[in-house]
Amino acid sequence: MRRFVIDTDTASDDAVALVMALRHPDVQVEAITLVAGNVPVDQGVQNALYTLELCGSHVPVYRGAERPLVRPLDTAQFVHGQDGMGDLGLPLSGRQPAPGHGVDKLVEVIDRFAGEITLVTLGPLTNVALALRQDPALTHKVSRCYMMGGVGVGPGNVTPVSEYNIWADPDAAQIVFSSGMPITMVGWDISYKYAVFDEAAVRAFKGIGTPLAAFCMDIQGTVNQFSLAETKLAGFDLPDPITMAVALDPGTALRTERLYVEVETRDGLVRGQTIVDHAGLTGLPPNIDVVLEASRARFLEILTAAVQP
């Protein structure tokens, strides 16, 4: 069994990624840590715990950072709905996280299973940056970090050049990117190229006929409206699930290049841009494995398997 730790700001696409990991036969999720991002951290806790209930899972969920390192919190509730789960009226309150702070638990679990942990980050990198400040040796204790964040090639989804997770806390992201941790970056470009669900794809997936299949599609309603109106996609896309697919089966990534990447921390349109040196013009040593092509077919296989009875 592979050991995973998942750091997330659980909203609608994060929830689908959690389903994929929790129901994968070869993965033991040791902990889920919550960070403020898509929704305030307490709402993210409730969304994660609700998703775990649907999966029959008892993985401990820990509340983490409630704001970025040095900036105010700007959520993505305008994308995912006020509750982050499509505002369907789901019972997303009243559950209790496990005792302890998410940052402390990241340090503790990664240290306990040093060299064995696959870290999957689905939100802003605040918790991970704080954990690295607490124990810089974590860099060498993580087997690999699969990160949903940034853009490998192409436009952003919150500024013309920036993806939300990195934009939300660029200062934390720069700490993580420059830490030396083995990172595979799955940018928003991989999602909009390989993980878009139009009406036909939604019908086909819901046709699986299980409650989990319906849940994974139904909670995307507000994202779908945003995607059609703002990002001009053919439907909603699932960035966190396709990142999880790469973490569960690295063969989902068809082309990955090791490149130098740094994060722009200045304000304005460039805030949170992942500057990817494709041509080696900086002369700086490559530090990130950037996924540039992925298999939609393999992604759908993994996602479909996760919602079977």
* Inter-residue long-range contacts of 303-307, CB under 8 Å, 24+ positions, other chains counted: 303/16, 303/20, 303/205, 303/216, 303/238, 303/241, 303/245, 304/205, 304/208, 305/23, 305/24, 306/19, 306/20, 306/23, 306/24, 306/212, 307/19, 307/23, 307/208, 307/210, 307/212, 307/213, 307/216
Superfamily of domain 2-306 in the CATH hierarchy? Ribonucleoside hydrolase-like (3.90.245.10)
So where are the chain's domains? Answer: 2-306
pLDDT in tens, 131-160: 999 999 999 999 999 999 999 999 999 999
Please report which residue ranges of 161-198 form alpha helices under DSSP H.
164-168, 170-177, 188-194
Q: Which residue has the tokens 């607490």?
A: 134
With cut-offs at 50, 70 and 90, classify the pLDDT of residue 293. very high
Amino acid at residue number 151? V
pTM above threshold 0.95: yes
What is d(CA 77, CA 84) in angstroms, rounded to the nearest whole number?
6
Residue 104, SS3 per DSSP: helix
Q: How many CA atoms lie within 13 A of 113 on its CB side?
A: 20
pLDDT at 96 (0 to 100): 98
